[in-house]
Structure 1
Amino acid sequence: MRVCFRSSVQPELLVEYRRRHAAVWPEMLSALKDAGWNNYSLFLDDDGLLIGYLECDDFDAARARMALADVNARWQVEMAALFRDSDVQPDEGFRVLDEVFNLEGQLAAATGTGSGAAAVVEH
């Protein structure tokens, strides 16, 4: 399952957001990996638009596993003030985007070499 989400960092805090993500706590990195967040990347635009991408077996289950990790609770508190909607924990404010195109999926469907199906997350 491929998942893409967006969120918004306060533009005046972009430098601090980048600084914190340049050296994420090792315990947090391990918790993400253990929870099934694979090939996880974040992309940040100068206006504060944050795009996240990850691959997992089941996004809801991966999020639930992270919610159980003590380090995640500490990280979310540390990061909350950097986001535009600081009333919501950053990882609860993700807006999941619909995948509308995947090159490999369409190539596989066109050549009959695979199902071409993409995972869709409903939220």
Structure 2
Amino acid sequence: MSTPHQRVCFQLQVHPDRLDDYRDRHRHVWPDMLAALRDTGWHNYSLFLRPDGLLIGYFETPSLQAARDGMARTDVNARWQAEMAPFFVALQGTPDQGFLQLEEVFHLE
């Protein structure tokens, strides 16, 4: 029996003049960052970007808090968050901590 996963959807705003750079960074995510995400419980992770910079992210995890705490203990996450923070408008903290979590109002099994 598999562990139930929490579905997490979030929103951030990318600076419209940085969209191409943002896309490029995500075509070349560091292998150690990908491994850290998998190892700390970030599963089925996707990012969706609108032309005006609205970014919607989605992932599944056994525990959002445990996933965030696990990433906070990795050196690669600190480096990645520092490099990604300048891409975002009005960010409070790091991208992985400062995103606006959206309320799930419907899910079709």
- Determine if the TM-score, normalized by the shorter chain, exceeds 0.5: yes
Q: Counterpart in 2 of 1:95?
A: 100
Residues 90-122 of structure 1 deviation map (CA, whole Å, 9 limit, x = unaligned): 112111111001111xxxxxxxxxxxxxxxxxx
Change (3 A) 1:87 1:100: closer
Q: Counterpart in 2 of 1:84?
A: 89
Q: Distance in 1 between matches of 2:20 and 2:64?
A: 29
Match for 2:14 among 9, 16, 24? 9
Residues 59-101 of structure 1 deviation map (CA, whole Å, 9 limit, x = unaligned): 1111110111100000011111111125621112111111001
Structure number with larger C-alpha Rg = 1
Q: Distance in 1 between matches of 2:41 and 2:81?
A: 18
Structure 2 length-normalised TM: 0.91
- Matching residue's letter, 1:39: N
Q: Counterpart in 2 of 1:51?
A: 56
Where do 5+ consecutive residues of structure 1 fail to align?
Answer: 105-123
Residues 21-53 of structure 1 deviation map (CA, whole Å, 9 limit, x = unaligned): 001000000000000000001111111111110
Residues 8-30 of structure 1 deviation map (CA, whole Å, 9 limit, x = unaligned): 11011000000000010000000
Secondary structure of the structure 2 residue equivalent to 1:42: strand
Secondary structure of the structure 2 residue equivalent to 1:66: helix
Runs of 4+ with deviation above 6 angstroms: none
Tell me the number of residue pairs that the alignment of Structure 1 and Structure 2 aligns.
104
Q: Distance in 2 between matches of 1:25 and 1:7?
A: 21
State the superposition RMSD in angstroms: 1.0
Greater relative CO, 1 or 2 (CA 8 Å, sep 6+): 2
Where do 5+ consecutive residues of structure 2 fail to align?
Answer: 1-5
Change (3 A) 1:79 1:66: same
User: Identical aligned pairs, as a percentage?
Assistant: 59
